[in-house]
Structure 1
Amino acid sequence: MSDPTAPAPSTTDLSLWDSVDDLWTWLDTNRPIAGQEGLLLRILKLSEEVGEVAEAVIGATGQNPRKGVTHSWDDVQAELCDVVITALVALRTLTPEARAVFGHHLERVRERSLGAGGAS
């Protein structure tokens, strides 16, 4: 059951899976390497994006004394969004049923973490 106090979905929410499909189509049409190798490279792209999150966090906190503060927390947010997009496109690459697979998995994680009653 949905939360009546939750904000209405934004246009971005409503078009998330359309956008994932559009990006998947574009990448699939323009990929230089096809087949199993192309699939593995698409999944490995996640590691690159996660590395960029780490780089942004280190830069936002100034943890590299040689470089100092090089990123903002807005940069970290953008890099986290890139991770999510890359993961969803990789999932779409594995299955045309990505939306259902993700929804089912999310519900399982929610149930496992929050229980049948949901968040309080």
Structure 2
Amino acid sequence: MADRAHEDDVWDTIDRLYAWLDANQAHTGRELLLLRMLKLSEEVGEVAQAVIGATGQNPRKGTSHTWDDVRSELCDVAITALVALRTLAPDAREVFTMHLAGVEERSLGPSSADVRA
């Protein structure tokens, strides 16, 4: 039951972020939709930048990030993706849950849900 409560907290927060973003947008309609999807690419780029920085792959900058920075950027990607999904689907929680179940079954086999229960 605690897992469901935590899941509800995540989706409640996503709903609040979505509402806040919508209330503070300079764009509407299709342009808003496209810009929200592009935001995801920006966040993924920040993950790449942090990995490059954590591994010191840029000789000019050296080690400019930590693996904590990478984790933080990955969280930003996940949040941005969930907000983008909420933008496309008012029932984002259900859409995500069903999709995750499909990925779980394809990846781990049909019996994986029985193991969890």
Same fold (TM over 0.5): yes
Alignment-derived partner of residue 90 in structure 2? 96
Q: Helix, strand or coil: the match of 1:9?
A: helix
Question: Aligned residues: percent identity?
Answer: 64
Measured against aligned partners, the alpha-carbon deviations of 1:92-119 in whole angstroms (never above 9, x if no partner) come to 0011100000000000000000001229
Name the CA distance, whole Å, in 2 between partners of 1:64 and 1:85: 28
Alignment of 1:1-120 (within 5 A): 8-9=2-3, 12-118=6-112
Q: TM-score, normalised by structure 1?
A: 0.89
Q: Which runs of 5 or more residues in structure 2 are unaligned?
A: none
CA distance in 2, matches of 1:70, 1:13: 34
Greater share of helix: 2
Q: Count the aligned residue pairs.
A: 114
TM-score by length of 2: 0.91
For the aligned residues, what is the CA RMSD?
1.9
How far has the Cα of 1:13 moved from its partner? 3.7
Shift >6 Å, 4+ stretches: none
Supply the distance in 1 between the matched residues of 2:46 and 2:89 (Cα, whole angstroms). Answer: 26
